[in-house]
Structure 1
Amino acid sequence: MANKFGSEGSVNRLKEKEKLVVLIGPTAVGKTKLSIDLAKRFNGEIISGDSMQIYKGMDIGTAKIKNIEMDGIPHHLIDIKQPDEPFSVAEFQQLVRSKITEIARNGKLPMIVGGTGLYIQSVIYDYQFSDAPSDDSFREILEKRAEAEGNEQLHHELMQVDPESAGRIHPNNVRRVIRALEIYHCSGKTVSDYQEKQVPELLYNTAIIGLMMEREQLYARINKRVDSMVEEGLLPEVEKLYKQGIKDCQSIQAIGYKELYEYFNHRVSLEEAIVQLKQNSRRYAKRQLTWFRNKMNVEWFDMSKIADSIEFEKKFTEISTYIEGKLKIKSNT
């Protein structure tokens, strides 16, 4: 059935697409344990959908899964960058789409798990702009320029007029860069302007599972998680980056790092930094939920009453049954 996120197409079209599970939800809602259990049940491999878990040495503050917690399940896109290296939506999209194909070809079920909505959306949805204006002669000029001047030059020009699209489109995806420039040239509107009116297409046969929780319970879990991070050594982890001179870069904007940098810069006390960290984490969780509800077609599951193993198993069975029906697959049990 069609909705604002687009028709998922006919059954025949879905069968041609690679199967994919996407598990999303706010921080501290319980994605890690559930993702491992689902991966075991469906012979899956997990791709991190967290834009900060890519950085080496940023383990505690990003709630990076520990090796022992993986329980033998392969994880991808963790620890692939140094903290001073940039990382874009476009690069994430390219890496994840390639990894989905690789995992599927190996007979496994790819699963994206994480909370960075824009990054995940960039992977699973595609936008068509057939109704946007076009100019064949302008496009031909850009194609010749790309050959003569290189892809980076056109991507740089797109960054000047439509930075949001430039952030999502890899410089080597010349066709999309040119199309975005063409749309702007013809209409003065950015691709993002057109996306507001577009019906995006799911590129994969996708089961998008969202975990939610009663707000006060979620906020209590977030506060407790921050306290646990501090006990586990968040302070020395951030101090090490600070002493290495890792400053003014993308990674340090992550929640858990920017607050403690204020402490190391002697702008706030440690107690004030931790209070701010908890507050920013709660606000981020609220933004995450709002974003997912507005931007993605999610099947939501309430984790508020998961107080013991019996209740967890009931919810796990409910989610597993949904995946089986949605993707037309059978579990290992």
Structure 2
Amino acid sequence: MKYNLITVLGPTAVGKTRLAAKLASYFNGEIISADSRQVYKYLDIGTGKDLSDYSVGNSKVNYYMIDLVELPDEFNLFDFYKNFFIYYHHIKSKNKNPFLAGGTGLYLSSVIQNYDLKESTNDKEFIEELKSKSDEELKTLLIKLQPHLHNKTDLESRERMIQAIIVANADKPVENKIEIKSLNIGINPGREIVKSRIKERLEKRLNEGMIQEVERLLDKNISPERLIRLGLEYKYITEFLIGKISYDKMQSELYKAICSFAKRQMTWFRKMERESVKIFWINEADFELAKEIIIKNYEFNSELS
């Protein structure tokens, strides 16, 4: 089967979005974001939602799955998976080429590795029954339904376990689902360079108002617990703002957490490779090199822009 998607992936702070936008601009494409936090409105600085990255020359590349959800609403793997196919077919209907770009491993895998996810019926009685169960009962049920659980964070709270059980218990197939064969380009400049860029970027974001962004979210009556559950920047800055940790500890712990996150991202991508996913790795977000990989491997159905 020919490739029918181009994916740009990699750990945080390597320039995925900018490269994907340049490639999409050149190859008559539009971009679906695979970022589990950029999907939320008002999470701008902390998620690196630099929408100017989508402007290439005098044109703007269309993007999808950004600013889609209002907090405190939740957005999960199935929501991403379902929306991916909606936007994929929308892009194809315009005779454009679909690109997927991001660093959320589970979201990327669900598409690239063709997970068989089905929609929940969301039966109210079933949900009430789940709410009456103990944490241990929920955990046992989830592991029974998903013995090879992809996302271990689903075990971290009652809400996440209940949502994961609902998804695992689903029985309605996703509409318009097709088999995806993705041409995958990965950016990996090396761990030490990534750590250096994370440090530089963190300082820049703190100076640009990231703390004030979290303050505004709290002022919108988004609970500290909900923000902490978003992880990384929102977790540590919220803990600082509610007086749980000092500014210096917030900055140092956040830096370490982002570095650990980047390491976990690479571990996930290596796991995908062990599971027979081909990734063309490049050391930097090099447009010319990535362009050559696409030209050599991808057969386009429409003219280049």
Which bin holds the TM-score, normalised by the shorter protein? 0.7 to 0.9
SS in 2 for 1:256: helix
Which residue pairs with 1:282 in the alignment?
Answer: 259
Whole-Å separation in 1 of the counterparts to 2:253 and 2:64: 31
Which residue pairs with 1:326 in the alignment?
Answer: 297
Whole-Å separation in 2 of the counterparts to 1:73 and 1:98: 18
Which residue pairs with 2:44 in the alignment?
Answer: 59
SS in 1 for 2:255: helix
Greater C-alpha radius of gyration: 1
List per-residue Cα deviations over 1:74-127 (Å, max 9, x = no partner).
011111111200111011100011111111121111111100010121123235
Once the two structures are TM-superposed, the CA of residue 255 in structure 1 deviates from its matched residue by 1.3
SS in 1 for 2:69: coil
Once the two structures are TM-superposed, the CA of residue 171 in structure 1 deviates from its matched residue by 8.2
Which residue pairs with 2:157 in the alignment?
Answer: none
5+ residue gaps in structure 2? 131-137, 151-162
Once the two structures are TM-superposed, the CA of residue 326 in structure 1 deviates from its matched residue by 2.3
Could you tell me whether the CA contact under 8 Å between 1:124 and 1:204 is conserved in 2? yes
1:238 maps to amino acid: V
Which residue pairs with 2:107 in the alignment?
Answer: 119
Whole-Å separation in 2 of the counterparts to 1:41 and 1:320: 9
Give the direction of change, closer, same or farther, for the CA distance of 1:68–1:318 in structure 2 (3 Å limit). closer
Could you tell me whether the CA contact under 8 Å between 1:324 and 1:331 is conserved in 2? no
**TM-score, normalising length: structure 1:** 0.71
SS in 2 for 1:113: strand
Which residue pairs with 2:160 in the alignment?
Answer: none
Whole-Å separation in 1 of the counterparts to 2:126 and 2:186: 34
Whole-Å separation in 2 of the counterparts to 1:250 and 1:331: 44
Whole-Å separation in 2 of the counterparts to 1:82 and 1:172: 26
Give the direction of change, closer, same or farther, for the CA distance of 1:24–1:63 in structure 2 (3 Å limit). same
Whole-Å separation in 1 of the counterparts to 2:239 and 2:78: 30
Report the number of matched residues.
265
5+ residue gaps in structure 1? 1-13, 129-145, 178-201, 305-311
Which residue pairs with 1:96 in the alignment?
Answer: 84
Which residue pairs with 1:256 in the alignment?
Answer: 233
1:320 maps to amino acid: K
Whole-Å separation in 1 of the counterparts to 2:202 and 2:40: 19
Whole-Å separation in 1 of the counterparts to 2:251 and 2:190: 23
List per-residue Cα deviations over 1:5-33 (Å, max 9, x = no partner).
xxxxxxxxx14xx7111111000011122
Once the two structures are TM-superposed, the CA of residue 272 in structure 1 deviates from its matched residue by 1.3
SS in 1 for 2:294: helix
Which residue pairs with 1:23 in the alignment?
Answer: 8
Could you tell me whether the CA contact under 8 Å between 1:24 and 1:211 is conserved in 2? yes
- Give the 5 Å matches for 1:204-215: 204-215=180-191
Give the direction of change, closer, same or farther, for the CA distance of 1:106–1:169 in structure 2 (3 Å limit). farther
1:112 maps to amino acid: L
Which residue pairs with 1:49 in the alignment?
Answer: 34
Once the two structures are TM-superposed, the CA of residue 299 in structure 1 deviates from its matched residue by 2.0
Once the two structures are TM-superposed, the CA of residue 153 in structure 1 deviates from its matched residue by 5.8
Counterpart selection for 1:82 from 56, 70, 74 = 70
Which residue pairs with 1:70 in the alignment?
Answer: 55
List per-residue Cα deviations over 1:157-178 (Å, max 9, x = no partner).
897443658739858952569x
Which residue pairs with 1:134 in the alignment?
Answer: none
Could you tell me whether the CA contact under 8 Å between 2:21 and 2:53 is conserved in 1? no
Once the two structures are TM-superposed, the CA of residue 300 in structure 1 deviates from its matched residue by 3.6
2:92 corresponds to 1:107: no
Give the direction of change, closer, same or farther, for the CA distance of 1:325–1:88 in structure 2 (3 Å limit). same
**Percent pairwise identity:** 31
Whole-Å separation in 2 of the counterparts to 1:280 and 1:230: 15
Which residue pairs with 2:281 in the alignment?
Answer: 301
Once the two structures are TM-superposed, the CA of residue 151 in structure 1 deviates from its matched residue by 4.9
Which residue pairs with 1:5 in the alignment?
Answer: none
